[in-house]
Structure 1
Amino acid sequence: MPRLDGPPHRRQDLQTFLREARARVDPAEHGLERPSDRRGRQVPGLTQPQMDVLLHSRTGTYGSFERGVKTNPSTDYLDRLARYLKLNPQEWESLWRHTYGHNPPYALDPGAGLDVAPVWRRVVHEMTTMAFLSNICWDLLDCNSAFAEIFPDGKPPENVMRWMLLDDVARDEVLMDWEDEWAPVIIPQLVAVRRAYPADPTLQELENDLHGDPRAARVRRRIAAAFTRPDSDDRPLRHPVLGPGRARLGAAEPLVNPGARLMVVEFEPDHP
């Protein structure tokens, strides 16, 4: 586990960051009394002892972490701390950078990205190649007309992973050689995210339906499910308009919306 060490300014930055985050939270929301100063006046926010109560930790544990004395917090501790402080996706990244010196390997909320910045929606629609935005559960947030064309009825699905994994039109007509070329790559992505967010209902339902579908379950049983990222994949695809060809995938994450995905799909037909 990474340790909170490094220059003093990092510890000071963490202390300031957490102190300001505590001040924004009303203790009454958690059934706690608002603290008072020495003059008896109520002050805003949660106190350090109240954080210990909420986090079910020993008295002084949170204070030690905020001051930079506690140097080995678990990721579970950070998860619970971030939820009680109601950190947004950007603040969640800041907490990890202040604590461990790098960005978190996963989003705090798997549904994050539903309010993806308008600039990214404009980028998607201005692209001439296929492009779409999704959250970490693969719920489709937005797409351009080029991406909509790969669906025979012209209507993109609500969830891209469900379509790729379980839709017979996808498996038999669009995603060529589905069992050998597509399923062994997309199933490990679902498995990895499902393990990162075991309580998310969308991912739970996707996994249950995966095991309940004979074709998908057969592939799942024969692969090791080693996680691979979709970036730079090259797979066969039959475009409803342009015919068969190769699809090259590129993936990115908008920094302002951690957990959201920007996917770009370049298609080169076999016979232009």
Structure 2
Amino acid sequence: MPRPDGPLPRQRDLQNFLREARARVDPAEHGLERPSDRRGRQVPGLTQPQMDVLLHSRTGTYGSFERGAKTNPSTDYLDRLARYLKLGPQEWESLWRHTYGHNPPYALDPEAGLDVAPVWRRVVHEMTTMAYISNVSWDLLEFNSAFAEMFPDGRPPSNVMRWMLLDDVARDEVLLDWENSWAPVIIPQLVAARHAHPADRTLQKLERDVHNDPRAARVRRKIIAAFTRPDSDDRPLRHAALGPGRARLGAAEPLVNPGARLMVVEFEPDRP
């Protein structure tokens, strides 16, 4: 089969996207000289060699990426590239789609993921079953009254992952058979998140605290898996108002909040 002439469509899209993004950035903002064309006239934007300087990469690395020859850059490289080019949320999504073929798993600006879109707030509060939204670090962003009723004191935790892994009330009273039914499924999600977001301070501290907690560390030493979503198997749970039963979890991702999770928890008590 003959090879097509020139770059593939996705490579061309990436090339055009990055050229336009570079042209918008004044090199002087980064202490660099404005480039000149062959006639000595100054031209707008950053050059490819200047991008290598900013990104602390070898000469030609950025040019190779822009042409589509460097096909698997690290996420850290994309992060730094996006910040120097001052990409917005939609441009950040475009960069990922042009590079990897899918949407980013997290927002470029962590603070941007703290605001839940009004439509998703309504979805959560209109549901009669337990539901909540958390960000990439499992900080609780939104929840409904059904979810709050699950907790003995009626108050959900500020960080769901920390509560599930390190809170004694969760481990001893709510998440029944915690060591066998819950922890082996929860910890791989933390492992996957740490791999995806190595600079996230909330996840860094959570990982350290898990390592320093005897009960959580004992389970963590047995875990080698890493996955991002909980399965739909039901697990034993004691509801503060409804008593013991089985909980089934479902997960979705609001596209307007990259990395956020909409969690739905169906609960069936052992007795009506």
TM-score > 0.5 by shorter chain: yes
Deviations 1:149-179 (A, max 9, x none): 1111111111000111111111111111111
Which letter does structure 2 place at the counterpart of 1:172? D
Judge conservation of contact 2:247–2:267 (CA < 8 Å) in 1. Answer: yes
Q: Say how many residue pairs are matched.
A: 264
**Residues 85 and 216 of structure 1: is their aligned pair in 2 closer, same or farther, counting only changes over 3 Å?**
same
Q: Provide the C-alpha distance between the structure 2 equivalents of 1:29 and 1:22, rounded to a whole number of angstroms.
A: 13
Structure 2 runs not aligned, ≥5 long: none
1:36 Cα deviation after fit: 5.9
Task: Compare 81-90 and 186-195 and name the one that shifted more.
Answer: 81-90
1:7 Cα deviation after fit: 6.4
Which letter does structure 1 place at the counterpart of 2:166? L
Q: Provide the C-alpha distance between the structure 1 equivalents of 2:137 and 2:109, rounded to a whole number of angstroms.
A: 6
In structure 2, the residue matched to 1:152 is: 152
Judge conservation of contact 2:236–2:245 (CA < 8 Å) in 1. Answer: yes
**Residues 29 and 245 of structure 1: is their aligned pair in 2 closer, same or farther, counting only changes over 3 Å?**
farther
When normalised by structure 2's length, the TM-score is: 0.86
RMSD across aligned C-alpha pairs, in angstroms? 2.6
Task: Compare 158-167 and 82-91 and name the one that shifted more.
Answer: 82-91
Aligned partner of residue 74 in structure 1, secondary structure:
coil
**Residues 21 and 110 of structure 1: is their aligned pair in 2 closer, same or farther, counting only changes over 3 Å?**
closer
**Residues 125 and 29 of structure 1: is their aligned pair in 2 closer, same or farther, counting only changes over 3 Å?**
farther
1:8 Cα deviation after fit: 3.5
In structure 2, the residue matched to 1:74 is: 73
Paired residues for 1:31-42 under 5 Å: 31-35=31-35, 40=41
Deviations 1:4-44 (A, max 9, x none): x996432222122212322443434433344567675673x
**Residues 73 and 227 of structure 1: is their aligned pair in 2 closer, same or farther, counting only changes over 3 Å?**
closer
Q: Provide the C-alpha distance between the structure 2 equivalents of 1:159 and 1:265, rounded to a whole number of angstroms.
A: 16
1:109 Cα deviation after fit: 4.5
1:209 Cα deviation after fit: 0.9
1:135 Cα deviation after fit: 0.8
In structure 2, the residue matched to 1:264 is: 264
In structure 2, the residue matched to 1:136 is: 136
**Residues 7 and 144 of structure 1: is their aligned pair in 2 closer, same or farther, counting only changes over 3 Å?**
farther
In structure 1, the residue matched to 2:106 is: 107
Which letter does structure 2 place at the counterpart of 1:135? N
Structure 1 runs not aligned, ≥5 long: none
Identity %, equivalent residues:
81
In structure 2, the residue matched to 1:213 is: 213
**Residues 110 and 83 of structure 1: is their aligned pair in 2 closer, same or farther, counting only changes over 3 Å?**
closer
1:89 Cα deviation after fit: 4.6
In structure 2, the residue matched to 1:95 is: 95
Judge conservation of contact 2:133–2:140 (CA < 8 Å) in 1. Answer: yes
Q: Provide the C-alpha distance between the structure 2 equivalents of 1:233 and 1:123, rounded to a whole number of angstroms.
A: 23
Judge conservation of contact 2:79–2:108 (CA < 8 Å) in 1. Answer: no
**Residues 232 and 87 of structure 1: is their aligned pair in 2 closer, same or farther, counting only changes over 3 Å?**
farther
1:119 Cα deviation after fit: 1.3
Aligned partner of residue 16 in structure 1, secondary structure:
helix
Q: Provide the C-alpha distance between the structure 2 equivalents of 1:122 and 1:254, rounded to a whole number of angstroms.
A: 13
Q: Provide the C-alpha distance between the structure 2 equivalents of 1:42 and 1:66, rounded to a whole number of angstroms.
A: 19
**Residues 208 and 243 of structure 1: is their aligned pair in 2 closer, same or farther, counting only changes over 3 Å?**
same
**Residues 13 and 151 of structure 1: is their aligned pair in 2 closer, same or farther, counting only changes over 3 Å?**
same
Which letter does structure 2 place at the counterpart of 1:134? S
Judge conservation of contact 1:250–1:263 (CA < 8 Å) in 2. Answer: yes
Aligned partner of residue 224 in structure 2, secondary structure:
coil
1:262 Cα deviation after fit: 0.8
Is residue 205 of structure 2 the alignment partner of residue 226 of structure 1? no
Which letter does structure 2 place at the counterpart of 1:150? M
Deviations 1:61-83 (A, max 9, x none): 32343233x24342243333223
**Residues 59 and 197 of structure 1: is their aligned pair in 2 closer, same or farther, counting only changes over 3 Å?**
same
Q: Provide the C-alpha distance between the structure 2 equivalents of 1:35 and 1:6, rounded to a whole number of angstroms.
A: 27
In structure 1, the residue matched to 2:62 is: 62
